[in-house]
Amino acid sequence: MAAGELRPEAAVEVRELAAFFGSRQVLRDISFEMPRHSVTAIIGPSGSGKSTLIRTINRMHEVVPGARHTGSVLVDGADVYGEGVDPVDVRRRVGMVFQRPNPFPTMSIYDNVAAGLRLNGIRGPKAQLDQIVEESLQGAGLWREVKDRLATSAANLSGGQQQRLCIARAIALEPDVLLMDEPASALDPQSTLRIEDLMVQLKEQYTIVIVTHNMQQAARVADFTAFMTTLEEGAPADLVEFDRTDAIFTNPARTETQDYVTGRFG
């Protein structure tokens, strides 16, 4: 499919992106657009630079010593690496949820959600904060389960609940984009399906980019799918194919994609 046929409104646009750890190049010439209010899944074998790719979107890649990139990343049309752009501001607008739920264990459920706001210097009357916490927990599908124990420790929640708490913490900041790096791979099947349902709901308000090893998960929830892999031994990873998810899983254009999604690579 030609780029022009995709939904025109790109929330995230990656242009000729390359990424390095020291002298080792891990990504090369990655260009594609992640459309607004959709779920884009990034699939590919281990070591194909999927996590590195999404970490360049919210400037977390550069946190690793020696890590650098070339090319550009645009969120809502603005270069996140532009002159004078504060990485902290980028990370507020581009939220991230990780593989292992990482709530602050010593904090209460309430404070976990409010923490993002406080860390970003957002202060206001208690009533306003209460409202944001409630809305975020509702948005993450957790409110009904925790509303009577907001002051208790987040450590007592189940894995699936903790992951939804992390989603609540991320959306409390009203980001434009939500990056999810294997958000369900540490969860049981039922909690996984809840997170998947949540993604479909959340895309109404946010643009979601998910890295997943679970191809069926990509097939179930993503509107668009990007397949990344290393085409030659030792070479940096390429974006092999990006298309609507149904095209990737019914009639992929590239043999490499077909071999991967049908489980016949290697």
Nearer to another protein, 103 or 252 (CB): 252
- For the CB of residue 258, give the shortest distance to another protein in the complex, in Å: 5
Residue 11's CB is within 10 A of a number of other CB atoms, namely 23
- For the CB of residue 58, give the shortest distance to another protein in the complex, in Å: 31
- For the CB of residue 243, give the shortest distance to another protein in the complex, in Å: 12
Three-state DSSP string of 141-207: CCHHHHCCCCCCEHHHCCHHHHHHHHHHHHHCCCCCEEEEECCCCCCCHHHHHHHHHHHHHHCCCCE
Is residue 222 within 8 A of residue 246, CB to CB? The reply is no
Regarding 264 and contact with another protein (CB under 8 A), the answer is yes
Regarding 221 and contact with another protein (CB under 8 A), the answer is no
Select from 31-39, 51-59, 173-181, 250-258 the region that touches another protein (CB under 8 A).
250-258
Nearer to another protein, 158 or 250 (CB): 250
Q: Rounded distance, CA 259 to CA 228, Å?
A: 12
Select from 10-18, 77-85, 229-237, 245-253 the region that touches another protein (CB under 8 A).
245-253
Is residue 237 within 8 A of residue 229, CB to CB? The reply is yes
Regarding 123 and contact with another protein (CB under 8 A), the answer is no
> Considering only residues 201-220, where is the footprint of another protein by CB under 8 A?
215-216, 219
Contacts within 8 Å (CB) and 24+ apart, 187-190: 187/159, 187/160, 187/163, 188/159, 188/160, 190/160
Regarding 261 and contact with another protein (CB under 8 A), the answer is yes
Regarding 266 and contact with another protein (CB under 8 A), the answer is yes
> What is the enclosing helix (H) or strand (E) of 31?
strand 24-35
Regarding 228 and contact with another protein (CB under 8 A), the answer is no
Q: Rounded distance, CA 49 to CA 2, Å?
A: 24
Regarding 152 and contact with another protein (CB under 8 A), the answer is no
- For the CB of residue 218, give the shortest distance to another protein in the complex, in Å: 10
Residues that bind another protein (CB under 8 A): 215-216, 219, 248-252, 257-258, 261-266
